[in-house]
Amino acid sequence: MTSTTKKVPIPPRGVDYRGKIVLAPMVRSGELPSRLLALHYGADLVWGPETVDRSMIGTTRRVNETLKTIEFTRIPSQGHKDKNQNLKESVIYRIHPEREGSRTIFQVGTSDPERAVQAARVVARDVVGIDVNAGCPKPFSTHGGMGAALLQTPDKLCSILEALVKEIVPEFEIGISVKIRLLETPEKTESLVRKLCATGITGLIIHCRTTPMRPRERAIREQLKMIADICRESGVACLMNGDVYNRKEAEQLISEFGVDGAMIATAAETNSSCFRSEADGGLAPWREVVEQYLKTCLEVENKWGNTKYLLNHIIPGKQPEYNLVTATKSYTQVCKVLGLEDLEAQAREVDRSIGIDPDTEKLGRRQQKKQNLKENQSAVAAGGGKSKKQKKVRAERGVPNQQNNEPPAATNGVAIVS
């Protein structure tokens, strides 16, 4: 195929995906602190996690002056209340305009043109692009015809993109893109890509796997040049996704297959310094990344559950710190077990702000059970005998005392052990 230099015009507030190495959209792993961490280590653009259109429609946009963030909130239908019996709002999406506003793409999960436009309109003035998820194969995404399910309804997918191009681009002056997967055959993929490029989008991201494929299966790259050529003919930027592990490799793949950019997912979830060039230090030690991540989480008062989830990805499972962090229940505790004394004062303040008692020393129920069992076993080993629980069970069953072959004396059904 011959290629041309044609380009779809980039809207004034939009961004050109060409020459960019970016953070992939990942549920839970693409929240605000993860995006800021990726940018800190050199990501050119960041995608937020897929957000379903219905969850954004009807949200309230507010500015958090303390954290300098923009939050889109709503009151859950269940009507949960806080400790003061006030209805508790849920934060659906957060953006830090100063630190990421000019580099953040909002990804919407949708199966309807009208809802897609409504959801995009809520957030469009605070981001530089709207991306339609047409590649996620997980049930929460494909439910209702969203995500990878859209690959089976190409006319619907095109109508969604056309509606966004028609309604959002003129009003907010940002670009529209779509993220897809490979279809069953190269011919079907080629046909789909041509249709998508004709909708007016500025970018197309191709995950080099088919819908049934899992992340552990090797990415298929044989169709990349064909896809890149079609995009180039239409003036649409083409980014590749799938088995891209660091900036150096991304640059090599861009050169080899003629795509315009690359997207990193799993590798960034484990260590965001994968975006850093070798000249800037390359991959950083996990301890450094953990400390930087915790600093970022504290700065934006990230939900503790989400912070802990990512820490369990960043800290290698074979490290002793992994189990210690798994047992923590607050920012204060995690700073203590990781030896980050300089962050403890800030951690205590954030714990209080998000409703966690920083002085609690209680472990989770499962961890406490394991700890009690361990202590009991240690005590038994030190005493050279069976545990009290074992002796109680034997006595209650009427098992004779093995030392003198006499029934055990008992008080309230519990054997007295000398």
Which of 277-283's residues contact partners 24+ apart within 8 Å by CB, and which partners? 277/42, 277/247, 277/248, 278/247, 278/248, 280/42, 282/246, 282/248, 283/246
Query: What are the pLDDT digits (tens) for 321-380?
Result: 999 999 999 999 999 999 999 999 999 999 999 999 988 655 444 444 554 555 555 555
- For strands 261-264 and 21-23, give the pairing: parallel
Residue percentage of the chain with pLDDT more than 70: 82
* CA Rg value for the chain: 27
Q: Amino acid identity, residue 169?
A: V
- Spans of all domains in the chain: 21-282, 285-385, 387-418
The DSSP call for residue 182 is E
Q: What is the pTM of this model?
A: 0.84
Q: Which of 253, 244, 238 is nearest to 3 (CA)?
A: 238
| 8 A C-beta contact, residue 234 and residue 8 | yes
- For strands 90-95 and 69-74, give the pairing: antiparallel
**Residue 116, both tokens:** 């897609």
Class of domain 21-282: alpha beta
The residue to which tokens 């861009």 are assigned: 254
Catalytic residues: 136
The residue to which tokens 């070798």 are assigned: 278
pLDDT band at 414 (very low <50, low <70, confident <90, very high): very low
Query: What are the pLDDT digits (tens) for 77-121?
Result: 665 555 555 667 899 999 999 999 999 999 999 999 999 999 999
Query: What are the pLDDT digits (tens) for 117-136?
Result: 999 999 999 999 999 999 99
Task: Please report the pLDDT score of residue 399 as a whole number.
Answer: 40
CA distance 311 to 19: 30
- Give the sign of the dihedral formed by CA 375, CA 377, CA 378, CA 384: positive
Bigger pLDDT: 128 vs 139: 128
The residue count of the chain comes to 418
